[in-house]
Structure 1
Amino acid sequence: MALNYPDAQIFGIDISLSSLQFANAMKQKHNIENVSFIHCSIFDISNLKTKFHIIECIGVLHHLKQPSRCIKALLMALRRDGTIKLGLYSKTARTSIETLKEKCSKHKITYSPENLIAIRKLAATQYPDKMKSIIWSRDFFSHQGCMDLLFNPYEDNYTPKRIYDLLRTYNLDFCGFETYQLHAPCFTKFNSGEDLRDLLHKWHIFESVNPSFFSDMYLFWIKPRNTHENRKL
């Protein structure tokens, strides 16, 4: 992000000191000067006393037992004309995790972090078609990423309906998806229309036919609503 926006002043927060240490090492490795790291809970982001133009919250909400508290904190720290990028696990795509657990049991592999190498090999070599939503995830190819992908202690995944309810609850506009497959013909046809309720219906149908499409996450942009609505609720 910092390399893509060299003129922006970027703040990265995390409750994990080890994650911040790794991020700082990458900052130094790539000679990045426009990023500052802060040890802070996402719930306390408003304590930074800064209103942000853009906030990215990727892979966080679905691991929180109080996601509404997080959304409120993000909105408090956002400028009125700002935007938020969210990354949320798809409930449809994550059904592969349960399938993987069943296959591990069949092969007498205990589903635990200690057996990560064996589990990853099983998914990639024995069941590549059934495990697309796992194997296609970028997290699958790094140790720490795969640990989070497969063994996070708490996970509460999202559906199109749940995201729609989130937008209505907090009076937010849906500003569009962000995905590396954005221009795939099947997705372009689905991602159309101005009515969010219509999009919701299409979204559900699309995922039922393409359950691995959002294998990484739902990635999309939202913003506080104003008189010019991007998608009609």
Structure 2
Amino acid sequence: MEKILTQDHHLFNLHSAGSLAEVDRINKKFYGRFNFPWNPSMLAKYHDQKFWIKTLNQELGYFDHKRLFEKPKIWVAGCGTNQAVITALKYPDSEVLGTDLSKESLAAARSLAERMNVENLKLEERSINEVEYDNEFDMVICTGVIHHNFDPSSPLASLERALKRNGILELFVYNYYHRITTTSFQKAIRMMCSTSRQPNIDVELPISSYMIRDTAANYSSLMKSFLEPLVDEHESAMADAILQPVEFSYTVETFNSLVQAMDLEIVTPCLNQWDKAEDRLSWEMNFSDKAVAEQYMSLPDIIRWQVGNLLKLEQSPHVWFYVQRKDSDFAVKTSQQICAEFLNTRFKKLRTTYELHVMQEDSSYKLEDSNKKQPDPVFPKDKVAARVFEHCTGQKSIGEILKSLRMELGYHELNELRLRLTTPAYPYLEAVA
């Protein structure tokens, strides 16, 4: 326990973190009881994985599409009930491995894969702390996992070891400023139930259910706004939100320290579905005062993003980044460099089709009659992005298009335009040679 307590991290719900093996045992039991997430209401089966590889390369800052090749070998570490299945459907030409320590979660994943006729997926019951993969994967996806460990650096070391020299790791951990109410409730319920040293779901769950429904309780307004949406949540989602046995959380600064210590480095933020839904596209601050803006933009990326983390607090994005090995042949590009290359690149409109499978009342999936198109909607909703998108025919660079439209964009606006047009979250454009 001494190792954890001396680390420079924001330490939260760690009372039961006695050892690596003990926390694995606790997590195995927890996710065996609460399979999360449950099966999605809709699943998309894509016909061309090049669509996603192109937009992923572009998000990484490689408009020549040469950062990741077309058929990466992928490991989804801590895959839960459906993440590996969704990944296999998204990348049908790739070999996908999903691992999890929960036998029940893997059973749900296998059942889902069978219903969707997924053939490029292998599932294994393994703790990330125990795997021995070495220099094996072009892409590793690990989201919402390592922060539930005795020492997050231990599973991260396994991820780093499994990654090929030029591979990419997609890594998500909790944002410190997103977890203040969550962790406060976690600590409070375990103090009330005297289960701080040994979590006991059978004791904690009914008391928690009563507490989130107690409208007369004199909670703070912040706590009330956190608990209210949980009243009608599925039991597994509620448990995942408020009864996690062990939990770390990070700022940009402490996350960077964590990955640096493992001989890894941050490549760029990952624009994920949750931040897209909240329209939290970037860590960047946008100052109107010229002197302040110049001072801010003179800082390195990591420092600027940490400033954004501190000033945006709970409205900052998720701590969700692409990471690579420090010995990678690809040097990390600054965000300003990526924006400059975006400005000088020509793009054409990007399209693909997919099969949409909708869950029925008996939990089976029914294929819709006709193929669907991606992106959807066909035109960007953002007015600036839509205006630029309309003129992208592969003939002019973004800079030339902006000039013809008499649009002058600063770094902040240009970076947001790039995110809204060329990334997996907004897959509208494909760079052309």
Same fold (TM over 0.5): yes
CA distance in 2, matches of 1:56, 1:91: 21
**Mapped contact 2:136–2:162 kept (Cα < 8 A):** yes
Gap change, CA 1:81 and 1:154, over 3 Å in 2? same
- Residue 14 of structure 1 and its aligned partner are, at CA, apart by 1.0
Q: Deviations over 1:24-51 (max 9, x none)?
A: 111122222211111111123224x670
AA partner of residue 306 (structure 2): L
* Structure number with bigger Rg: 2
CA distance in 2, matches of 1:219, 1:178: 8
**Equivalences for residues 191-230 of structure 1 within 5 A:** 195-207=301-313, 211-214=314-317, 217-225=318-326, 226=328, 228-230=331-333
CA distance in 2, matches of 1:170, 1:79: 14
Find the counterpart in structure 2 of residue 96 from structure 1. Answer: 181
**Mapped contact 2:301–2:334 kept (Cα < 8 A):** yes
> How many residue pairs are counted as aligned between the two chains?
221
- Residue 16 of structure 1 and its aligned partner are, at CA, apart by 1.4
- Residue 183 of structure 1 and its aligned partner are, at CA, apart by 8.8
CA distance in 2, matches of 1:133, 1:84: 31
CA distance in 2, matches of 1:76, 1:196: 24
The alignment partner of 2:265 has SS state of strand
**Equivalences for residues 46-85 of structure 1 within 5 A:** 46-47=132-133, 51-85=136-170
**Mapped contact 2:283–2:309 kept (Cα < 8 A):** no
Q: Does 1:13 align with 2:107?
A: no
Find the counterpart in structure 1 of residue 284 from structure 2. Answer: 190
Range that drifts further, 113-122 or 32-41: 113-122
**2:116 corresponds to which of 26, 30, 36:** 30
CA distance in 2, matches of 1:135, 1:224: 42
CA distance in 2, matches of 1:195, 1:85: 18
The alignment partner of 1:178 has SS state of coil
AA partner of residue 218 (structure 1): V
CA distance in 2, matches of 1:158, 1:122: 31
Gap change, CA 1:165 and 1:109, over 3 Å in 2? closer
CA distance in 2, matches of 1:27, 1:63: 26
Range that drifts further, 73-82 or 156-165: 156-165
AA partner of residue 312 (structure 2): F
Range that drifts further, 92-101 or 113-122: 113-122
Gap change, CA 1:143 and 1:76, over 3 Å in 2? same
Find the counterpart in structure 2 of residue 157 from structure 1. Answer: 249
Gap change, CA 1:127 and 1:205, over 3 Å in 2? same
**Mapped contact 1:173–1:230 kept (Cα < 8 A):** no
Gap change, CA 1:40 and 1:141, over 3 Å in 2? same
Find the counterpart in structure 2 of residue 170 from structure 1. Answer: 262
Q: Does 1:147 align with 2:204?
A: no
- Residue 146 of structure 1 and its aligned partner are, at CA, apart by 2.4
CA distance in 1, matches of 2:140, 2:333: 19
AA partner of residue 46 (structure 1): E
Gap change, CA 1:35 and 1:133, over 3 Å in 2? farther
* Structure 1 unaligned blocks of 5 or more: none
Q: Taking structure 1 as the reference length, what is the TM-score of the superposition?
A: 0.76
**Mapped contact 1:2–1:34 kept (Cα < 8 A):** yes
**Mapped contact 2:309–2:316 kept (Cα < 8 A):** no
- % identical equivalent positions: 20
CA distance in 2, matches of 1:146, 1:231: 39
* Structure 2 unaligned blocks of 5 or more: 1-86, 195-202, 287-296, 336-433
The alignment partner of 1:230 has SS state of coil
- Residue 231 of structure 1 and its aligned partner are, at CA, apart by 4.4
CA distance in 2, matches of 1:166, 1:102: 24
The alignment partner of 1:221 has SS state of strand
- Residue 143 of structure 1 and its aligned partner are, at CA, apart by 2.3
